């Protein structure tokens, strides 16, 4: 089982009493396309949005982030 899916299952199991209330989680686990796909399959997850976290460049492009010069990481 990959790390993002394991983390999601752990988060959900630790918060069973709070599941009726919507929560937001920000996860970074390498390629966001892979983690997005895995998280969409986790019971209780209502939506998954890919993007970038951190960094010092406003509205970076995928190419800029991939170059490693913006300080961003891919996240969901």
34 annotated active-site: no
State CA 50 to chain mean position distance: 7
Annotated active-site residue in 3, 31, 50, 71: 31
Residue 45, number of CB atoms within 10 A of its CB: 14
Q: Are 27 and 7 in contact (CB under 8 A)?
A: yes
Active site residue ranges: 31
């Amino acid at each position: 089982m990959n790390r993002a899916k394991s983390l999601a299952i752990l988060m959900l199991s630790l918060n069973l009493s709070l599941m009726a209330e919507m929560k937001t989680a920000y996860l970074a686990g390498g390629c966001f396309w892979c983690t997005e796909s895995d998280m969409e399959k986790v019971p209780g997850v209502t939506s998954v949005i890919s993007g970038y976290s951190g960094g010092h460049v406003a509205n970076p492009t995928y190419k800029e982030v991939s170059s490693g010069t913006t300080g961003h990481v891919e996240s969901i």
